[in-house]
Amino acid sequence: MSDQVTDVIDVEDRERLIEEISLLRGKVARLQERVEQLDQLAHQDSLIDVPNRRGFMRELERLIARVDRYALNGAMLFVDVDGLKMINDTFGHRAGDEALVQIADLLSKGVRHSDVVARIGGDEFGILLECADEGSAQETAARLIDQISACEFTHDGETLPLSVAIGVGMIDALDTAEAVMERADEAMYRRKAAA
């Protein structure tokens, strides 16, 4: 039995009931706000203002459902940052973090607002393209590779080269998120091996 004593409110005391309801609504609103904050923390990357792997998987599952239900085209781009270990080892982790922020910004600016860019691993990003066939997904990947290699990333006055490898995995109806990621990851490794 609980030791907590609750106030008993006379149901005839209309003014007191309204006051209690108002207090409870305020508590509920604060709790809902806190739940939203916790949900955002659980699905957002701690370094970069993009979704993390958990948030990405949620969005990928939603896109798979839309591809299945509406017979849309969709693709996942698996982005692997080249040379981040060298930047971290030579210039420190702050430089590596700055490089990741720069790359995330370039990726986000290089796709449509409706597309999803997320950090899915230490030096890996995922991009979801809705209403994109294989040709347009490959074009987007090539354009992003060029944009990143052409950027001038500087740390402490020194220009450091940035580059990425991107693999494209098309999304099929009734796909699983794991299968899509695996196809895109394999395509990225094939691209790296061919370079």
Indicate the Cα dihedral angle 171, 107, 195, 133, nearest 10°.
30
Strand partners, 125: 79, 119
* DSSP structural state of residue 89: H
Assign 107 to helix, strand or coil: helix
Decide if 89 is catalytic: no
Q: Which of 45, 80, 115, 123 is catalytic?
A: 123
* Start-to-end CA span in the chain (Å): 69
Cα three-residue angle 171-126-36, rounded to 5 degrees: 100
**Catalytic amino acids?**
123
